[in-house]
Structure 1
Amino acid sequence: MKALCLQPLALPDQLADLAVEALIDEADLSPKPGLVDRRGSGAHGDMNLALMHASALSLWPCLRQMAEAAQRHGEIAAPLRAELGRLGREGEAAMLATTAGVNTHRGAIWALGLLVAARALSPLSSDPHTLAARAGRLALIDDPAAPAQDSHGTQVRRRYGAGGAREQAQQGFPAITGHALPQLWRSRAAGASETHARLDALLAIMASLGDTCVLWRAGQQGLDALQQGARAVLDAGGSASLAGRRQLRALDARLLQLNASPGGAADLLAACLFLDKAGSL
């Protein structure tokens, strides 16, 4: 009897697997202030953990196709950017069909799609800072087929001057490379569990990001509460410390009181987890 010989997965399949895994890991991480997690729906009455899982899984074909497109085009240029835009819109439609119209991962499609494509463009280059910069170069290219939208993010940018997901991508994801990844690695090096290290990375994003999801729901008051509360957790020793956990509970309570959900930070945490593992492929 011959032994079963499994062929290694192609890179686009591996990248799609890794991106979906990052989305599920972000959803499962608990306790996340104001966000859907294993405890409940946070500030989202229309979401739950099962819905987040289903949404993440619905994006696998889109993410694989983005990696395939990057391999096929082979360079950062307008044709690849246009195809990524089309695939992203198709992925968003699949997500909304799965969630009955609930916007669970629109920002994550943008961030992870760019990063998946960046990784597929250069299979031998896996440094997180290099990948983020390459994704930023892609994000700077206009997509002429993108429909004009007066989305919540657009309205918030107009009112508050916050850059949001688009600016983060175009700048090479500074909230990830400058804050989340260094904090993730510091917390691990200090002996924190993986859960606490990931929570600390999320808090580092929250402390630095002008989260347009929070601004839409709770205005500048909500953003100030998010940033100051996240800094207080980290300054108290992080989520692994007793003092940090007290601050984390206080931040969660305040965000729920304000009905403020830091969805932008959650999307970037998923992108951070993807970058953290992308080098292992």
Structure 2
Amino acid sequence: MTKHHDERLAHIAVSALTDQLSLAPKPGLPDPRDLTARAGGKDHQTLRWSAQALTPGLTAMAAAARRAGEPTPLLREELGAIGRCAEHTVDLAGGGHRGALWALGLLVAAAALAPSARGAEVAALTRRIAAHPDRKAPRRPSHGSTMSVKYGAAGARGEARAGFPHACRALKALAASRRAGATETQARLDALLTVMSTLRDSELLYTAGPSGLRHVHTGARAVLDAGGTATPAGTDALTALDDDLRARGWSPRGSAALLAGALFLDTLPSLARPGNAPAGNRRSRL
């Protein structure tokens, strides 16, 4: 691994995030249909702009992992410190993406630690990084920690400590939908809905409570049970779910962050083949 590879991993991660932002229609989530995003009231173009501000931080995380060579407690603390600086930079650029920064930062670090690893192997390595406590992290309550105490939700940290199982499920859903003949947009929407159908999203729990979370799970499963977004029945179910979540003001942001993680993992094999472009530069089959 070299500095060039650190930068490339960061650019692939940011491309994965901007690909997620560009996807539409995403139920209850910011997408290009909106001038004003539903998550946090941020303009969609601002979210795309602030995503670019993640690049220096993600590059630094890859470099830190490359220097460390193994998932040590010291590396975990360094990643946390870099992440907090990156949050400040992103806030100056317009804000957003905290969940994506956590997920993509750990995945980028894992990919830097094991350059030959792919997909689920990279996700599994994050378990060894996230297992170490960040002793220098500020001790302040968050929506995730509050929901963890109140409902036992694993939250973003629990997802990382488990090796990002929902991102891996999304990765499998992408492959299955592509094999079935779905367009790239349809495959990515099916992957998002796969995450939404089971993730105990702490932000949703905070906003809508357990009954609201079950409501979202049921709606996402209805689309998948109808054959996914490549079928007329699935498209109708997706439209109904989107209208419903927009009306309620519920935003499954945790699922969006994990989809970005899955898109990053989906692109990693191209690193082993010279000349292949990052995911953000591939033309989707619309």
| Cα offsets for 1:51-77 (capped at 9, x unmatched) | 111121000000000001111111110
Structure 2 regions of 5+ residues with no counterpart?
Answer: 272-286
Number of the residue aligned with 1:68: 63
Q: % of aligned pairs identical? A: 48
Q: Secondary structure at the match of 2:86?
A: helix
Superposition deviation, residue 214 in structure 1: 1.1
TM-score, normalising length from structure 2? 0.91
Superposition deviation, residue 79 in structure 1: 1.3
Q: Is the 8 A contact 1:222 1:255 kept in 2?
A: no
Matched, 1:260 2:229: no
Is the deviation greater in 65-74 or in 33-42?
Answer: 33-42
Q: Is the 8 A contact 1:214 1:223 kept in 2?
A: yes
Number of the residue aligned with 2:173: 183
Q: For residue 174 of structure 2, what is the amino acid of its counterpart? A: L
Is the deviation greater in 36-45 or in 89-98?
Answer: 36-45
Q: For residue 53 of structure 1, what is the amino acid of its counterpart? A: R
Aligned counterparts of 1:31 and 1:201: Cα–Cα separation in 2:
13
Q: For residue 20 of structure 1, what is the amino acid of its counterpart? A: V
Superposition deviation, residue 257 in structure 1: 2.4
Identify which of 129, 132, 135 aligns with 2:126: 135
Q: For residue 122 of structure 2, what is the amino acid of its counterpart? A: L
Q: Is the 8 A contact 1:225 1:255 kept in 2?
A: no
Give the root-mean-square deviation of aligned CA atoms.
1.3
Number of the residue aligned with 1:116: 108
Number of the residue aligned with 1:56: 51
Superposition deviation, residue 32 in structure 1: 0.1
Matched, 1:250 2:245: no
Q: Is the 8 A contact 1:118 1:135 kept in 2?
A: yes
Alignment length (residue pairs)? 269
Superposition deviation, residue 22 in structure 1: 0.5
Q: Is the 8 A contact 1:34 1:42 kept in 2?
A: no
Q: Is the 8 A contact 1:58 1:95 kept in 2?
A: yes
Q: For residue 134 of structure 1, what is the amino acid of its counterpart? A: L
Q: Is the 8 A contact 2:3 2:63 kept in 1?
A: no
Number of the residue aligned with 1:28: 22
| Cα offsets for 1:121-151 (capped at 9, x unmatched) | 12122x2111011011101110100001211
TM alignment of 1:85-100, pairs within 5 A: 85-99=80-94
Q: For residue 132 of structure 1, what is the amino acid of its counterpart? A: A
| Cα offsets for 1:150-203 (capped at 9, x unmatched) | 1111112222211111101000011121x2111110000011000000000000
Q: Runs of 4+ in structure 1 displaced over 2 angstroms?
A: 41-45
Number of the residue aligned with 1:272: 262
TM alignment of 1:84-233, pairs within 5 A: 84-99=79-94, 102=95, 104-125=96-117, 127-177=118-168, 179-233=169-223
